[in-house]
Structure 1
Amino acid sequence: MTERVATSQRGAANKRAASTQLDKAEKRAAAKAARAKAAAAEKRKRMLGIVGSALAVLLIIVGIAWYARSGDPSTPAAGTNSEASAPGADTPSQVAAFPPLPVDADPALGTKPTPTAGTGTVSKLVVTTLIEGKGPAAKSGQTVTVNYVGVTYADGKEFDSSWKRSQPLEFQLDTGGVIPGWDQGLQGVKIGSRVQLDIPASLAYGDNPGNGAPGGTLRFVVDMLGAK
């Protein structure tokens, strides 16, 4: 009897020991699984951070590229009828910098002039040199590049300007592509010069031209930038 009790007690002890070992194993397994889950979550977090940073950099690059493309809009064509361009001339030259000054030009040519109203009556073309350039004189038949401001002589009101388009005008001199006052007044003007042209209506658009062109006597200040 005593032996059976002892055996029964040993069996119960063994069961308790086995149960304790099983509990410890389960806990270790649970702890290991928890650590693995935490590590996986941390890895996902790091990957999401890397992907987010890469997307941010990509967006910045795309934004810079878009800004670079859109920062150089096309310029409106000069010499349209609606603007009553001084000479109604050819398509102006495309330039990278404005104004494209000649070598050794007076820095004043980089600033837009401000013509004023005239006095008295203008019966013939009057050419006044405001700045004398150092380059060769423009000749008949050459293609010249100019900047200009045009105002009505009586009140000095501006009606056209290459400066407002940030684009000089290019045309062939003395071929009828511009008003006679320009064809006549710009021949012999040295490259790098700024001249004032007081032009009577007979050498401009007439007294009542219509189509938006100014009538009467006109005054232009013209910068001779190049000739070829």
Structure 2
Amino acid sequence: MSERVQNRSAGQSPGTKAERRLAAQLAAKKAAEAKRRRQSILGAFVGVLAVAGLIAGIVWKNSGDDDKPANTAAQASASAAPSAEPTAPPAPQLPADIDPALKTKPAVEAGKGELTKLTVTTLVKGKGPAVKAGQNITTNYVGVFYKDGKEFDASWNNGQPATFPIGVGQVIPGWDKGLVGVPVGSRVQLDIPADLAYGNDASGGRPAGPLRFVVDVLAAQ
């Protein structure tokens, strides 16, 4: 009985070792294959990263080159831009045959003494037709206070002449009465007492008291 058991155990032992050896070989083979797969995947990943880095570098270089002309153009435009210094308003458009004196803003001084009536003084006599009541006239003008010569209004400061109907009550009476009959192309000085101007009440921002205007009659129609 013991011999049979001993022989059976001896007969099973080689088979068990062979199985273990085969299992060990299979495990080693699987491990080697897994290692090769990992190395292959890692190599491919590294290659993809290298290609991506190369492409990114090319794109960055090209985008930088594209920006250079724009930046250069912007710098050139900025350097060529005029300075933002204040400039005088442009001169108004005047008739071609206008007297040269009417192309510049006149200096207007204060009046002397008491002003009791409308006084029209011709400074430059124009060669055009006389202004008629009901016409629209185009003028440049400077308005100052008669007593101190302080300017309160001037079309020259706006850079363009003013156009309005004359002789029909659309302006102060001193203008309606003083400019009708003046030849186009003239420069006249109007000394206007308060009752023919805005009165003596300074409320509402209107100039009060007697006034002096120097008016250039540029057109009438």
TM-score (normalised: structure 1): 0.61
Any idea what SS the aligned residue of 1:211 has?
A: helix
Cα drift, residue 42 of structure 1 = 8.5
Cα drift, residue 134 of structure 1 = 2.1
Tell me, yes or no, if structure 1 residue 112 matches structure 2 residue 105: yes
Q: Hey, what does 2:66 align to over in structure 1?
A: 51
Q: Hey, what does 2:200 align to over in structure 1?
A: 207
Q: Deviations over 1:83-132 (max 9, x none)?
A: xxxxxxxxxxxxx9522212211222121111111112222211111111
Stretches of structure 2 that go unaligned for 5 or more consecutive residues are 1-53
Q: Deviations over 1:133-153 (max 9, x none)?
A: 222222111111111111111
Stretches of structure 1 that go unaligned for 5 or more consecutive residues are 1-36, 71-95
Tell me, yes or no, if structure 1 residue 217 matches structure 2 residue 210: yes
Q: Hey, what does 2:28 align to over in structure 1?
A: none
Matched to 1:212, the amino acid is G
Q: Deviations over 1:136-174 (max 9, x none)?
A: 222111111111111111111111111222232111111
Taking every aligned residue pair, what percent have the same amino acid on both sides?
A: 53
Any idea what SS the aligned residue of 2:203 has?
A: coil
Q: Distance in 2 between matches of 1:152 and 1:58?
A: 53
Larger Rg, first or second structure (1 or 2): 2
Q: Hey, what does 1:164 align to over in structure 2?
A: 157
Q: Hey, what does 1:132 align to over in structure 2?
A: 125
Any idea what SS the aligned residue of 2:184 has?
A: coil
Residues 102 and 191 of structure 1 are in contact (CA less than 8 Å); yes or no, is this contact kept in structure 2? Answer: no
Aligned length: 164
Matched to 1:226, the amino acid is A
Cα drift, residue 54 of structure 1 = 3.7
Structure of greater relative contact order (alpha carbons < 8 Å, 6+ residues apart):
1
- 1:193 pairs with 186, 192, 204, which one? 186
Any idea what SS the aligned residue of 2:204 has?
A: coil
